[in-house]
Chain A
């Protein structure tokens, strides 16, 4: 069974999706203020690494702890919906087929909501 990472198109595809994802985030007034401009380049890289591991592209690799990374940010339900929506749109615009997209989103949303379990 090929990993989700491979089926999504590997590293180059993930990088492209994250670029688009961040472009969308930084244009959205609902979440824009949460992100510090100077952190963006390193965040993009961290996001690529995180998604790569989440999709099985780097087995055994430790993942950033989402609970710690977002502590104190006062994130609202609305913002979560927005962020997940942007990721989904980025996958969709990258031509990822719907079933694959669903599986990818399912992992991300589980890992997000399980951060405070």
Chain B
């Protein structure tokens, strides 16, 4: 470990860029840097030098390269970094992160992302996260003019990564560069021509020089290269590359074209189609290179400019034929991996040959399971066109419709299901059932209509000879989402087949939670542990809601964050919306207002382009409205209201409860508290009638928070309210304590809520408890203790400034002298020492101190120090 600087002599003219990367590594506020520049300008070279250099300095480095190979498993590049992992298994984000952290130990980790603009979105998202949680410092390269995945560009937008532009070399550096390439200096003539031709692009210069040397255009005279005539005159790197490719013989050109068309290819596959000798020659000509990838040797280009040029050079007809050849060759290979099925099907499709329907069916399924709905739609359409009028027609139509729905294209989904070629009566009953479930589900989820959806499902059941568990489970899911838990639960009695289907379990979870029994809901899911994986993200998000409602706020957040990460990695937009809303809800309950609003905002943006467009958008905006409305300034909420007015209506209920509470709060903030209270009580009564006791309690607690506790209590006692878990009973205690001005009861509520992590509610409860003892003319010391508790809970959390909090600010003021003495004592001085220091009597010190103890409600010197900390700066 000495302080020597590792060497960078092969990096000509890159001192500035190199200094920039070093400076970035030493900036604590950064976690990444991105080299941006033209093709061939030397970004990758800089990246590799950075990696080497960092390793010498003591970093642990890992590096991956973005490709646009078809059928790549998301994250495969990362997974390949892990030892002992079977090929093809991508592993998961958590594992990859942990493995990287273990690999680094107490050394810093540098993650290289070559060609970051070509990364798949999952890998990009992982890289984004590794930078943000400081697992790694990320250094990437991006070709100028290319759009990197969102996760990468957001690193720059968020200020987590800096961009380091990589410019062409200047004339002097280019001449030095030429010397490094040729091993000998070049004459001024050569240098000048080289610069004019290449404008400082090093890759271009290198190719030009090597070409010129082998063709004898530049010659070595006395240790210096001179030019004999003119250097070749292509006007750009791409022209030069084109010319180089054009000069290849037929066999070589064919090999190059295959790699360009098929993306990086397995060596065995390529060797079936071209002469292996040609491949060896192309490798020594520095055009192709082979890299280990998931235990397979993959052949690709040495530099992406060649891939681009080669792709441009292949005619469309030739490309089609090559795709067919590739598909045939891969078809002969065993064993066949999922990405092979995808490649064969896509190649056949693009190659214009007829693919086997069963192959297309399998490929469609694989693409859907990878959330690549674009591809699923394309493959599924091709499958559908072949089988539309056969008994399989409806199944194919259902698959394609699902892919459309996932992309929010409902019109397309409806029209493929209604395609006149489809003969429903010929389809298998299970497929007819699927069709009905898709149509019924879409009627509710996409178009927001409950009654027609239920009618549609009933009609399908009748046609198929009576009730069917799948139909019942789907109906139950709709009823529970529509805020009708009783109807939902009636369809899924415990032990019934419908209750064990994913939709049924999800429905039970939601229905039991809104009914006010989240603990029972969680117990029910506990009987189906596989559910969290098979029930889809929406269902799993319902699990997060149940956790919040039962009072397990931290578990809810942890669970939802994990879900969010998984959904993000799987490109599951639909899931991301659900998780973001769950996270916003958890943060809102925890009193983390800003974080909550960020999640709701994010959910809104994502929802706009997802299968849950209307429902998700209304739900997220409802959360945002509820949060913003609890403020003394209504303008933020009014903006949300404006956005809501542009979203079509939807009969789902979960969002409506948030939205309605938000509207009532807004009304209160605008001055009409009585009107707001009336609204809330009406909604509470409606929830009571429908059996939604969780919503009922939430509406009533809002009434308490608007200072109308006795009305809340009256509506609570009108109909028995059976709730379970930790949160809802505590909120009910709060309503009772508030209505009866029971300060001790409210203090107990405060402690319970704070312990559970509901800090917004806790701060309000503490403040209410304090007002109660103050108004009851309690003992000064007791009042002060309550005040301190309230202040402590209000400290440092960005809770909403609701009327209770705005009107009642526990304030404790000490006189200047009292404060001075208190501070000295808190630092550990004895009364005697304080007296000496301030030149006053010990008795005076002690009488001041006694008053301070009473005012602050403390009993000891340690408590005194804490209480002073809360007081903040002297006034």
Contacts and interface: CB of A to CB of B under 8 A. Distances in A.
Interface of A: 53-56, 59, 63, 67, 70-71, 74-77, 79-81, 84-85, 88, 99, 102-103, 105-107, 109-117
A63 to B, nearest CB: 7
Interface in B20-40: 21-22, 25-26, 28-29
A67 B3 contact: yes
A81 to B, nearest CB: 7
Given A110-B137, A113-B59, 8 more contacts: A63-B26, A67-B3, A71-B3, A76-B1, A79-B1, A80-B1, A110-B108, A114-B59
Nearest to B60: A113
B514 to A, nearest CB: 33
Contact of A109 (B22, B26, B107): B107
A117 B110 CA distance: 13
Contacts of A109: 106-108
A61 to B, nearest CB: 10
Nearest to A55: B28
B5 interface: yes
Interface in B49-82: 53-54, 57-59
Output the residue of A111, A115, A116 with the most chain B CB within 10 A. Answer: A116
Given A110-B137, A117-B54, A117-B57, A56 B29 contact: yes
Contacts of A67: 3
A55 B29 CA distance: 8
Interface in B130-145: 133-135, 137
Contacts of B4: 116
A107 B59 contact: no
B1 A77 contact: yes
Contact of A113 (B2, B57, B134): B57
Interface in B101-129: 101, 106-109
A59 B1 contact: no
A74 B3 CA distance: 9
> Binding site of A, secondary structure by majority: helix, strand, loop or mixed?
helix
Interface of B: 1-5, 21-22, 25-26, 28-29, 53-54, 57-59, 101, 106-109, 133-135, 137
B134 A56 contact: no
A116 B4 CA distance: 7
A104 to B, nearest CB: 9
A59 B29 contact: yes
B28 A117 contact: no
B106 A114 contact: no
Nearest to A78: B1
A56 B29 CA distance: 7
B840 to A, nearest CB: 30
Nearest to A113: B58
A109 to B, nearest CB: 5
A116 B57 contact: yes
B5 A116 contact: yes
A117 B50 CA distance: 9
B795 to A, nearest CB: 12
Contact of A102 (B29, B101, B137): B101
A70 B2 CA distance: 10
A114 B57 contact: yes
21 contacts: A54-B28, A56-B29, A59-B29, A67-B3, A74-B2, A75-B1, A84-B106, A103-B134, A106-B109, A107-B134, A109-B108, A110-B59, A110-B137, A112-B108, A113-B54, A114-B26, A114-B108, A116-B4, A116-B57, A117-B53, A117-B57
A103 B107 contact: no
A95 to B, nearest CB: 16
Contacts of B3: 67, 70-71, 116
A111 B28 contact: yes
A112 B26 CA distance: 8
Contact of B22 (A76, A80, A88, A114): A114
Contacts of B101: 102
A99 B101 CA distance: 11
A102 B58 CA distance: 18
Contacts of B57: 113-114, 116-117
A67 B23 CA distance: 13
A116 B54 CA distance: 9
Contacts of B28: 53-56, 63, 107, 111
Contacts of B53: 117
A88 B106 CA distance: 10
A45 to B, nearest CB: 19
A81 B29 contact: no
B215 to A, nearest CB: 41
B502 to A, nearest CB: 32
A105 B106 contact: yes
A79 B2 CA distance: 12
A106 B107 CA distance: 8
Contacts of A116: 3-5, 57
B596 to A, nearest CB: 14
Closest 8 pairs between A and B when the two form their complex, measured CB to CB: A114-B25, A110-B108, A113-B58, A117-B22, A106-B134, A54-B28, A103-B134, A109-B108
Nearest to A73: B3
Nearest to A59: B29
Given A84-B106, A113-B107, A116-B57, A106 B135 contact: yes
Contacts of B107: 109, 113
Nearest to A103: B134
A117 B25 contact: yes
Given A71-B3, A76-B1, A102-B101, A115 B135 contact: no
A56 B137 CA distance: 16
A53 B109 CA distance: 21
A80 B58 CA distance: 11
Given A67-B3, A71-B3, A107-B28, A113 B108 contact: yes
A99 B58 CA distance: 23
Contacts of A59: 29
A113 B61 CA distance: 13
A107 B25 CA distance: 10
Contacts of A63: 26, 28
A80 B106 CA distance: 10
Contacts of B135: 106
A114 B54 CA distance: 7
A111 B1 contact: no
Residue in A70, A76, A84, A113 whose Cβ sees the most chain B Cβ within 10 Å: A113
A70 B135 CA distance: 26
Nearest to B28: A54
A9 B779 CA distance: 34
Contacts of B22: 114, 117
